[in-house]
Amino acid sequence: MTPAAPEPVVEISELRRVFKSRRGPVEAVAGIDLQVFRGEIFGFLGPNGAGKTTTLRMLATLLPPTSGRALIAGRDLLSEPDQVRWQIGYVGQQGGADMEITGRSELVFEARLYGMGREQARLRSEELIRTLELEPCADRRISTYSGGQRRRLDIAVGLVHQPQLLFLDEPTTGLDPQSRARVWDEVRSLRRAGTTVFLTTHYLEEADALCDRLAIIDHGRIVARGTPDELKREVAGDLVTVGLEGDPETALRLLREQPFVREASAEESSLRLYVERGESAAPEILRLLDREGLGLTTISVSRPSLDDVFLRQTGRSLREQAA
């Protein structure tokens, strides 16, 4: 048997959103095309203000697109938003649970909104409390929850009606490493259960470790897409970073001419060089700079990361911005 062709759960074409603001229109999402397939964890990686939340809110029926189309689980976003709502769960960037009541009552309320009877809602809440390990806090006011508990509750609320597609907007932002790992586990077990997850993040490690495929978004445009490995391979080769004592321009000119350097760029007092094989390029670079009398402070070789992908596409580093 051949594996079934991937079935798209989200199909977006030319989706665009412009906000009016006092200082004129802001194009938050500038016409994106995208497919998310059934059963995958799809990631949207981008810096602050890239348009991640705006895209997700449009897909979750919260915000009308300025133009463009989207099909979600076969339903048209614009003409059948009510149908779409039954198919999706959405966990917003700020969560969405009320601080004053208990997690359990939030879950029961949510279940009742999806038409469940009292008993069914109680059972479903109980089930979610168990799966997301919320037993210790389920009957406390949400204002007393830890960050990780809060996030797991938000996810539980989004899962009440067993949606086939779950949107998670920055599910781990602000969490400590342990809580983050638990959320990752949760997302992976959702995939095992067949749920498609569409999440946003500005953490490179998260995109790399968690997502099956991802799109890198910047200024409302998708600048790269693929599996994390494909994306890193696109960067082609290893990265050698050279710290220099003086002005990098001379060194840049010199190294650019070398056949083993594929791409080179200068940044204040350092050079970024993409080379075929970092191990053999490094000594060569040392020799060249030494011969020209160009003082060198540091040198490092690294395999390309998603940050290099981002850097190459946008000229900026995501890591610096996240910090």
Ligand X SMILES: Nc1ncnc2c1ncn2[C@@H]1O[C@H](COP(=O)(O)OP(=O)(O)OP(=O)(O)O)[C@@H](O)[C@H]1O
Tell me which residue of 243, 252, 214, 234 sits closest to 304, measured CA to CA: 234
Using the minimum distance from each CB to other proteins, give the nearer residue, 64 or 295.
64
Tell me which residue of 315, 301, 140, 310 sits closest to 215, measured CA to CA: 310
Contact range with ligand X by CB under 6 A, out of 41-49, 81-89, 149-157, 314-322? 41-49
Q: Residue 58 and residue 81: Cα distance in Å, rounded?
A: 11
Contact range with other proteins by CB under 8 A, out of 80-88, 174-182, 190-198, 247-255? 80-88
Using the minimum distance from each CB to Mg ion, give the nearer residue, 29 or 289.
29
Task: Name the 3-class secondary structure at 218.
Answer: strand
Tell me which residues in 87-116 interact with ligand X (CB under 6 A). Answer: 93
Q: Residue 102 and residue 48: Cα distance in Å, rounded?
A: 32
With b for 16 or more beta-carbon neighbours within 10 A and e for fewer, the 35-62 pattern comes to bbbbbbbbbbbbbeebbbbbbbbbbbbe
Tell me which residues in 115-154 interact with other proteins (CB under 8 A). Answer: 115
Q: Edge to edge, what strands does the sheet with 238-244 contain?
A: 261-267, 270-275, 238-244, 296-302
Using the minimum distance from each CB to other proteins, give the nearer residue, 110 or 218.
110
Using the minimum distance from each CB to other proteins, give the nearer residue, 171 or 248.
171
Using the minimum distance from each CB to Mg ion, give the nearer residue, 107 or 199.
199
CA distances from 45 to 48, 125, 169, 321 (A): 10, 32, 11, 13
Contact range with Mg ion by CB under 5 A, out of 61-69, 87-95, 100-108, 149-157? 87-95
Contact range with other proteins by CB under 8 A, out of 72-80, 101-109, 175-183, 189-197? 101-109
Q: Decide which of other proteins, Mg ion, ligand X, none touches 280; Cβ closer than 5 to 8 Å per partner kind.
A: none
Using the minimum distance from each CB to ligand X, give the nearer residue, 59 or 72.
59
Tell me which residue of 185, 230, 233 sits closest to 206, measured CA to CA: 185
CA distances from 203 to 131, 140, 168, 199, 206 (A): 26, 31, 14, 11, 5
Using the minimum distance from each CB to other proteins, give the nearer residue, 98 or 276.
98
**Count residues contacting Mg ion (CB under 5 A)?**
3
From 53, 55, 149, 195, residue interacting with Mg ion (rule: CB under 5 A) = 53
Segments in the chain forming alpha helices (H): 52-59, 81-87, 103-113, 118-131, 147-159, 177-192, 204-210, 228-234, 248-256, 278-291, 306-314, 318-322
Query: 227-256 mask for ligand X (x: CB under 6 A)?
Result: ------------------------------
From 25, 76, 79, 86, residue interacting with other proteins (rule: CB under 8 A) = 86
From 104, 124, 151, 202, residue interacting with ligand X (rule: CB under 6 A) = 202
Q: Count Cα neighbours of 77 within 13 Å in the Cβ-side half-sphere.
A: 25
Binding site for ligand X (CB under 6 A): 19, 21, 26, 28, 46, 48-54, 93, 202
Binding site for other proteins (CB under 8 A): 19, 57, 60-64, 82, 85-86, 88-90, 92-101, 105, 109-110, 112-115, 157
Binding site for Mg ion (CB under 5 A): 52-53, 93
